[in-house]
Amino acid sequence: MSIKPLKTVTSKTITLPAANIDTDQIIPARFLTVTTKNGLGKHAFNDWRYNDDGSETDHALNGDFAKACQIIVAGHNFGCGSSREHAPWALTDYGIRVVISTEIADIFRGNALKNGLLPIIIEKSAHQWLLDHPGEEITIDLERAEVRLPKNGGTYSFNIDAFSRHCLMEGVDEMGYLSAQDDAISQFEKTRA
């Protein structure tokens, strides 16, 4: 199905500065027995957000401020661990559209792009600025592949594959593109058989 298009995002940021935030933190495995994609937002970072008795902790992610944010600024190597696409499903359902870090794990990055969640790997100085200025309103311009920081923080560009950018901006998924190659795939299968 099509994904939610993303061209620009202007939002305040939630900062989660710990390095190596793994997918078991983003969505613990015991919530993976679902057979649909919906409604995982309430379990995003479950074990940080809830006590054993189900009551909410005082973690910033439970606050109204965080719930209104669309951008997470995370420590190095965000999303490492399992291939569970439940991680981007949980984040997007929580309301996140962009994750910024100095390193984002390969599988998570791929999964995020396929779900309208933009993973941005940014240079250290900009990352440090973001960590030093939690909650500032920043702008992501996908067309220009730029992160614009307020208060003379500067403008930083990031790398994104042209194809992924196109898919995200237009809200198209890859299935259509792959299906359109049906003839070439059949041809390939013949040469291999």
Partner 1 sequence: MVTAETADHPATLYIDLHLIHEVTSPQAFTELEQRGLPVRRPDKTLATIDHSTPTIINDDGSRPFITEQAKFQVEQLLLNTAKHGITTHSWDSPARGIVHVMGPEVGATQPGMTVVCGDSHTSTHGAFGCLAFGIGTTQVGHVLATQCLLMRKPKSMVIWVDGDIGDDVTAKDIILAIIAKIGVGGGTGHTLEYRGKCFDAMSMDERMTVCNMSIEAGARAGMIAPDATTVEYLRGRERVPSGEEFETLAADWLTLTSDESCHYDREVRLKAQDITPMVTYGTHPGMAMPIAANVPIASDEAEQKALAYMQLTGGKPIAGVSVDRVFIGSCTNSRMDDLRAAAAVMDGRTVKGGLIAIVVPGSEAIKKQAEAEGLDIIFEAAGAQWREPGCSMCIAMNGDMAAPGELVVSTSNRNFAGRQGPGARTVLASPATAAASAIAGVVASALDVGVTS
CA distance 87 to 96: 11
Any contact of residue 15 with partner 1 (CB under 8 A)? no
Q: Rule CB under 8 A: which of 19-78 touch partner 1?
A: 19-20, 22, 24-25, 28-30, 32-37, 47, 52, 75-77
Closer of 32 and 68 to partner 1 (Cβ): 32
- Region of 60-68, 133-141, 144-152, 185-193 interacting with partner 1 (CB under 8 A): 185-193
Q: For 22, phi and psi rounded to 5 degrees?
A: -95, 170
Q: Work out which of 58, 143, 192, 193 binds partner 1, going by CB under 8 A.
A: 192
Percent composition of the chain: helix, strand, coil (DSSP 3-state, to 5): 40, 20, 40
Question: What x/- string results for residues 70 through 109 when contact with partner 1 is judged by CB under 8 A?
Answer: -----xxx--xxxxxx--x--------------x-xxx--
* Residue 153: CB minimum distance to partner 1, A: 24
Q: Work out which of 5, 8, 10, 18 binds partner 1, going by CB under 8 A.
A: 18
CA distance 62 to 50: 9
Any contact of residue 153 with partner 1 (CB under 8 A)? no
140 in Cβ contact with 155 (< 8 Å): no
Query: Starting from the edge strand earliest in sequence, which strands make up the sheet with 137-141, in order?
Result: 118-121, 98-101, 71-74, 8-16, 137-141, 146-149, 154-157
Closer of 37 and 148 to partner 1 (Cβ): 37
Closer of 11 and 82 to partner 1 (Cβ): 82
CA distance 71 to 79: 15
